[in-house]
Structure 1
Amino acid sequence: MLTSILAVSVAGILLGLRFKAAALLAATALLLVGILAWNSLGFPGHVTVGKSLILMFFSAGGYLVGLALSLRRRRNGE
């Protein structure tokens, strides 16, 4: 679970550095589709609703961190 949290947090930061909020919505939808596919294929490490919400929270939090870094970089660059 820790690896998943780290992965979605880093993905959120990268999204925040480059893209607008619509990309976060698309990434969240892709995360949910991936979770549903993972669970339906029967791979080990069944993802519950609680874990899904935690992953979405960290993805959004990572996006906000990336957005803040992007704004800071733009402000210092000008």
Structure 2
Amino acid sequence: MTATPPDPDPARTPGLEPGGGVTPGDTPPDAAQTSGLSHPQPMPSRRGPMITLVLVAVLTLLVLAFVVAEVMSWSKVF
């Protein structure tokens, strides 16, 4: 096998104690965090999803009408 394993070998990892823990001071200090937003986020528009929904409904009705017309022409009803 030529590829190295994804996890390092614990026996060769620096800073690990025999039980698998780390010595005090080996871990990095706590990083600062920022919670929340820096400014209010704008509300997304409802126009885009509504236009898409209407277009899908119209396309579905057109396809359904075409299928019904084809079936009626096959059965000589029209």
> Please, what TM-score do these two structures have when normalized by structure 2?
0.39
TM-score, normalised relative to structure 1: 0.39
Which structure has more helix as a fraction of its residues? 1
Larger Rg: 2
